[in-house]
Copies of this chain bind each other. A is one copy, B any other.
Amino acid sequence: MSLATDAADKPTLYKRIRADIEKRILTGEWPPGHRIPFEHELVARYGCSRMTVNKALSELAQADLIERRRRAGSFVRRPQHLSAVLKIADIRAEITALGRAYGYELIGRKLRTATAADRDRLGVKKAGKVVAIACRHSADNVPFAVEDRLIDLSSVPDAATADFSREPPGSWLLHHVPWTEAEHTISAIVADDRAAEALDIAVGAPCLVIDRYTWRSARTITAVRLLYPGDSHRLVARFKGG
């Protein structure tokens, strides 16, 4: 019987507070920039202790839905563009799932102290050790993608001794290192001599480029550039919306 507002079942109080606020943000009732009620106001409204509303607000802040500023209050954060779920699986899994034979070839692997370019690419300031890896993935013996990767050893010490001659670094990392944030940048280029040779395509042919950066908290794990032949490969994202 849904007679009352929504105290029907019985989620815990802080979850209800969180859900209430979340709903108002998502429906646009509280637009970006809107100041949500102060903790003491919510305490009064829900008749609970401050720690309870604090927990609700802290979780909303952790989820980037709101921003909290001392002395000023808590505010609805800006973004909320049209968002979609894009699944970019581990390449080995992707090819295997397509029912094609996966091939992997390690082209090069170097362990070095981070150069200025490496630090710039990883977005770190201190010069620690890194592993640079170049490799090629193929499907049914046809080049599928070339990979150029940098792994920060201060974040992933085990990568120094991992055997990447048989297991692709992407798969290895996925199974050994949890990540909290990542960023993909997708762009297009035309193949230069080196790319053309590695992918067995013509110089000047279009290539799809995916630059992926992965972090654990604020710490960089790895930066990878994947080059796909653009006319044969397609990145498909299917998702549900609202």
Contacts and interface: CB of A to CB of B under 8 A. Distances in A.
A77 interface: yes
Contacts of A155: 26
Contacts of A12: none
Contact of A184 (B25, B86, B158): B86
Given A26-B155, A178-B79, A187-B233, A62 B59 contact: yes
A156 interface: yes
Given A26-B155, A87-B82, A190 B174 contact: no
A242 B85 CA distance: 12
Given A181-B241, A208-B188, A174 B81 contact: yes
Interface string A208-242: 11000000110000000000101101111111111
How many copies of the chain does the oligomer comprise?
A: 2
Interface in A19-37: 22, 25-28
Interface string A77-109: 111111111111110011001000000000000
Interface string A154-171: 011110000000000000
A177 interface: yes
A194 interface: no
A64 interface: yes
Interface residues of A, number: 69
A65 interface: yes
A226 to B, nearest CB: 12
Nearest to A236: B185
A77 B237 CA distance: 18
Nearest to A214: B241
Nearest to A237: B184
8 contacts: A62-B62, A79-B174, A80-B178, A81-B90, A181-B239, A185-B235, A187-B208, A188-B208
In order of increasing CB-CB distance, the 6 nearest A-B pairs are A188-B230, A81-B89, A86-B86, A188-B188, A188-B206, A186-B235
Interface of A: 22, 25-28, 59, 62-65, 77-90, 93-94, 97, 155-158, 174-190, 204-209, 216-217, 228, 230-231, 233-242
